[in-house]
Amino acid sequence: MNTMTPSPLTKVLQKYESELLTEWIGAQVAGSSRGRIPESEVREQSRQFLAALRPAVAGDNLTGIGAQEWAAVRDILKDLSRSRAAQGATPSETANFVFALRDPLLVRLEQEAGTHADQASMRRSVSKMVDHLGLFTFEMFQKTREDLIARQQQEMLELSTPVVKLYDQILALPLIGTLDSARTQVVMENLLQRIVETGAEIAIIDITGVPTVDTLVAQHLLKAVAAARLMGADCIISGIRPQIAQTIVHLGVELSDVATKATMAGAFALALQRLGLCVRRIPKAPTNPGEK
């Protein structure tokens, strides 16, 4: 590659910087249906991008955007994708940031270097460069979203498995959401740990918040029950909704080894009974008018 004379692209980027910027921003604004991102921000991001693009294309390595000289451009695109994803922009809106640059760039390139046949490869590689940058932006956007989903999943896992002490020696485990094997593991560990800490004899597993119970979920539940039993704690499964009772029977899931109750209240009453406790009403103290 001849690095002595600057390539037409470098010349275009230098000579028409402000024109390119104006046209590019115009294309971007036209491309996005809603003006979610303020134009001043778009202008600033575009200016930074062009400034970083100029040294990057100087090496004439237009398609290898993984190379060292493109690091600044990649960083800008990464930040942009991240902020756009956080702002709730659609993937196409975000990718459009880069793709909108193609037309102004090609038009100016033709102006500068003419439409001569020997410039065709130049135009092709510029076009390819924009494609690569666009794809990179898109990938970054998606990665940000995936990270978000993974983080939320983790948070959900941690948040959604509280073990509550209902009474001395009685624990409650209200389950919300679908039980998969990863969650069962967390639930089980939490439950067993709390059994050790509190010395509970009875654990009530409430499945009111579990939307569906299939054979797999039932198996997971029974696993938790068996593990708790090995620790010396009895389990009661409560919060079984009518549909779930029907499903369990239709699926042929064997729950006869475990005490089951329709409501948490019923399970709590059973737990008290097993511990030899009872709840009774305190008789109202007779009001003595003479004491007033």
Partner 1 sequence: MERIPILKMGEFLLVTIQVDMHDRLAMALQDDLTNSIVKNLSRGVLIDISSVEIVDSFIGRMLSNIAAMSRILDAKTVVVGMQPSVAITLVDLGLSLPGVRTALNVERGMALLRDSIGRQEIGDADSND
Contacting positions for partner 1 (CB under 8 A): 185, 188-189, 192-193, 195-196, 199, 201, 223, 226-233
Considering beta carbons, is residue 130 or 202 the nearer one to partner 1? Answer: 202
Q: How far apart are CA 253 and CA 240, in angstroms?
A: 14
Considering beta carbons, is residue 132 or 223 the nearer one to partner 1? Answer: 223
Q: How far is the CB of 31 from partner 1 (least distance, A)?
A: 54
**DSSP for 231-272?**
TT-EEEEE---HHHHHHHHHHT---TTSEE-SSHHHHHHHHH
Q: How far is the CB of 190 from partner 1 (least distance, A)?
A: 9
H-type alpha helices, the chain: 8-15, 17-31, 39-57, 71-87, 91-99, 102-113, 120-159, 181-198, 215-230, 242-251, 264-274
- Burial (0-12, 13-18, 19+ Cβ within 10 Å), 275: middle
Contact 83, 112 (CB under 8 A): no
Q: How far apart are CA 159 and CA 213, in angstroms?
A: 21
Considering beta carbons, is residue 192 or 207 the nearer one to partner 1? Answer: 192
Q: How far apart are CA 62 and CA 125, in angstroms?
A: 6
Question: Within a 13 Å sphere around the CA of 29, how many CA atoms are in the beta-carbon half?
Answer: 12
Q: How far apart are CA 151 and CA 93, in angstroms?
A: 24
Q: How far is the CB of 201 from partner 1 (least distance, A)?
A: 8
71-76-80-81 Cα dihedral, nearest 10 degrees: -10
Q: How far is the CB of 206 from partner 1 (least distance, A)?
A: 20
Q: How far is the CB of 238 from partner 1 (least distance, A)?
A: 21
Considering beta carbons, is residue 71 or 196 the nearer one to partner 1? Answer: 196
Considering beta carbons, is residue 151 or 165 the nearer one to partner 1? Answer: 165
Q: How far is the CB of 231 from partner 1 (least distance, A)?
A: 5
Q: Which residues pair with 174 in a beta bridge?
A: 206
Considering beta carbons, is residue 72 or 275 the nearer one to partner 1? Answer: 275
Considering beta carbons, is residue 19 or 201 the nearer one to partner 1? Answer: 201
Q: How far is the CB of 174 from partner 1 (least distance, A)?
A: 20
